[in-house]
Structures are given as C-alpha cells and as structure tokens.
Amino acid sequence: MTSVCMILLIGLGSAQAPAGLTDFVSKRYGLRLTLPPGCEILEREREDRILIARLASPDPSRPALLACELGLAPESLDAWRTRIDRTAQLGRRPATLVRNEVVQGPAGPQLETIWEYRLPDDQAWLEHATRIVANRQLYTFLIRVDAAHYQRVLDAYKAILGSAVFSPPETGCAPVPGAAHRWQQQEYRFALDLPTGWKPALAPAEIALLYATAPAREIWSDNVLVLARPHRAEELARLARELPDQLRAEEPDCEILQCSIVPHGSRQALETIVRTQRGPFSITVLERRFAGERFDYEIKFTIESPHFEPLLPELRRCLDSFRELPGEVPGAGKPT
C-alpha cells in the first residue's frame, strides 16, 4: 500500500444523495460513498487510491483530511491488528497507538485504529483508520484531524462509513465457461489458468493487465501478474546472460536459482527463479518472458518461499496454459 493518508471512494447504484450531500461513485474500485457538504475532492482513482478529500473543519486553517485506499484482504482483520500492534511495540512509527481493536460495524467486523501525532509546536493530531473487508479486498478509510476538533469531525466520518456500498472491483477478467480455474482478460484478449483457489483482483499498478491472488495467509497473499509491452528485438540467449547481473544490481542480496531458456508452446521463453526478501517475508519469484503474436509478455508469480517448491509444478502448468485469443486489442503489433 501507499501512504496511509489516502482516501478511496468507490461506488455503485443510482440513488441520489439528499440535498447538500454528494454521491461519489467508482465502478472500478467497487464502492459508493455519500460525502458531506463542504467536502473538497483533491484526487480520485489513482493506483490504489480512489480519492483524497478535504473535509470542512470548525477551524479553516486546520482542515481535516479524509482518505481511503484499497488493498488485498488479509486472512483476518485480527491478523492486521496484530501487525499494527507489532509496529507500535517496535517504535516504527513516530506516533502513539491510542486504539487498535476489531469491533462489530454495521456491515460486519471492522478494525478501528487511532494514532496520535505530536507536531513540533506540541499540538496533537489524530489519525483514525477503519479497515473493512469486502469482496476479497481491504478498504481502509481514514481521517486525520487536530485533536481539538476530532469529536466534531468524527460524526461526519461515521456518516460516510455508514453510507458505504461495496461491490466487486472491476478486474477486467472473467471466468472461461466450462474451464475450471481458467480466466480471460477481456480487453487484451488472452487466457490463463490460475492455481486452485486463486482469483483475479484489482491490479496494484495500472500497467498490469491481469493480477490474481491466492487466499491470504495472515497478511500475505501469493500473487501473479501479467505485463505486456510492444515487441522489440531481444535475443533470449543474450538476455539469459545479462539478466542475473541486472537483478543483482537492483537487489544485491537476491539469490538467483535459475535463469534459462525453456519451451513455451511453439516458442521459447526465458524462465527465472529468484529468492529475495520483502520486509518480513522471504519470497520466491517465478517469471517467464516471451514473445506472443501481439506483445512481448512477462508473467510473474510471487510466492512465499516456504510454499514455493510444492506449488512449482502447478505454477509451470499455469504458465504453459497462456494463450492469446482472437479479436481486436489496443496497441497490438506483430513480432519484429
């Protein structure tokens, strides 16, 4: 996730907000909210941020920030609560943890977290975040306001949360009829088998054409993404020689387990397996790079290392299953 101080407002439905209120709707992220009078939208629908907004405040010189962001759902909100407690215990944030507990909200469990910040002039500010899981996604709503006006802003914040309507985000993918675990990217016209239990999710970056995840383990989800770029002349044998040094330049501590040319349908692909560290997680990345009829593709599985070896045969089967489908595709070109 990016900055905690972001707001995602997404919504569906056609009912209009009462006079003085504003509906914010985004089908892409799967959420509708009703915003109060005086709410000024600063940013909307960018990467995992749907909206950043400024709320009216009793003190115009200290406006309250409203924010929300979209992420992958953890195994449970309690797992996320434990992570926040650990962050506070280790002093990894320049703030005091005031509250951190899972409570029952209008639509089910939600994690309420409040941090207190002290500015150089000793003024206190509060950051109140509410995390809600819907459709295998984690929605984080947040206000940041000076402590003196927190209670007055809190009523507006609760009303916004109460107005939230969730729906599945638009992933751009649909299941292929009659084919278990096979999904089709509808705009870019390709299909790929996913491992058992995996499903498409909203991509963390707009450049990913397909993004899918496994069921979460605590706060981690194994994942796969598909990238594409215009064709360019690139000799796989030369890339196989040069890529290890490029990877080590980016991550000096990574361990390159494989970098070799393998069959991929009627063509060849460069397959790499790299083990590295992502925060507290040891992860292993299996990647294939190959030329299709329309684009050069990269398919990248990112797996928690202890679970990688048992999954490897299924992951390779999924890589082998990739097929381009007939139809018009934006920006497609022929191999050079």
Three-state DSSP class for residue 86: helix
pLDDT score at 290? 96
The answer to whether residues 103 and 180 belong to one domain is: no
Residue 17, both tokens: 């907000």
Domain edge (last residue) among 166, 184, 206: 166
Count of Cβ atoms closer than 10 Å to residue 202 Cβ: 22
Q: Which residues of 87-126 are buried (b: 16+ CB within 10 A; e: fewer)?
A: ebeeeeeebeeeebebeebeeeebbbbbbebeeeeeeebb
pLDDT score at 164? 93
CATH of the domain at 38: 3.40.1000.10
Burial class (CB in 10 A: 0-12, 13-18, 19+), 240: middle
Structure-derived torsion over alpha carbons of residues 327, 332, 333, 335, reported in degrees to the nearest 10:
-80
Q: Is residue 16 part of a domain?
A: no
CA distance linking residue 39 with residue 34, whole number of Å: 10
The answer to whether residues 182 and 315 belong to one domain is: yes
The answer to whether residues 221 and 125 belong to one domain is: no
The answer to whether residues 251 and 151 belong to one domain is: no
Q: Is residue 7 part of a domain?
A: no
The answer to whether residues 320 and 195 belong to one domain is: yes
User: What is the amino acid identity at position 297?
Assistant: Y
Question: Which residue range is the domain that position 101 belongs to?
Answer: 22-166
Q: Is residue 13 part of a domain?
A: no
Nearest by Cα to 50 from 72, 30, 74: 30
CA distance linking residue 166 with residue 313, whole number of Å: 36
Q: Provide CB contacts within 8 A for 144, sequence distance 6+.
A: 5, 64, 65, 67, 125, 126, 127, 128
pLDDT score at 14? 31
Beta bridge partners of 259: 272
The answer to whether residues 84 and 188 belong to one domain is: no
CB 108 within 8 A of CB 98: no
CA distance linking residue 163 with residue 36, whole number of Å: 11
Q: Is residue 299 part of a domain?
A: yes
Q: Is residue 11 part of a domain?
A: no
Q: Is residue 292 part of a domain?
A: yes
Beta bridge partners of 213: 199, 223
pLDDT score at 107? 78
Give Cα 241 to chain centroid, integer Å. 33
Counted domains in the chain: 2
pLDDT score at 320? 97
Q: Which residues of 30-42 are buried (b: 16+ CB within 10 A; e: fewer)?
A: bbbbbbbeebeee
The answer to whether residues 46 and 98 belong to one domain is: yes
Nearest by Cα to 210 from 195, 229, 191, 197: 191
The answer to whether residues 152 and 38 belong to one domain is: yes
Domain edge (last residue) among 131, 166, 201: 166
Give the global pTM. 0.82
Per-residue pLDDT of the chain (336 residues; tens, 9 = 90+): 333 333 333 222 333 444 457 889 988 899 999 999 888 999 998 888 889 999 877 777 788 999 989 998 999 999 999 999 999 999 989 999 999 999 998 879 999 999 999 988 888 999 999 999 999 899 999 999 999 999 989 999 999 999 999 999 999 999 999 998 999 999 999 999 999 999 999 876 668 999 999 999 999 999 999 999 998 877 899 999 999 999 999 999 999 999 999 999 999 999 999 999 988 889 999 999 999 999 999 999 999 999 999 999 999 999 999 999 999 998 775 543
CB 27 within 8 A of CB 12: yes
The answer to whether residues 180 and 320 belong to one domain is: yes
The answer to whether residues 196 and 279 belong to one domain is: yes
CA distance linking residue 35 with residue 241, whole number of Å: 55
Domain edge (last residue) among 105, 140, 166: 166
Residue 281, both tokens: 């997680």
The answer to whether residues 280 and 251 belong to one domain is: yes
Q: Is residue 329 part of a domain?
A: no
Q: Is residue 331 part of a domain?
A: no
The answer to whether residues 104 and 227 belong to one domain is: no
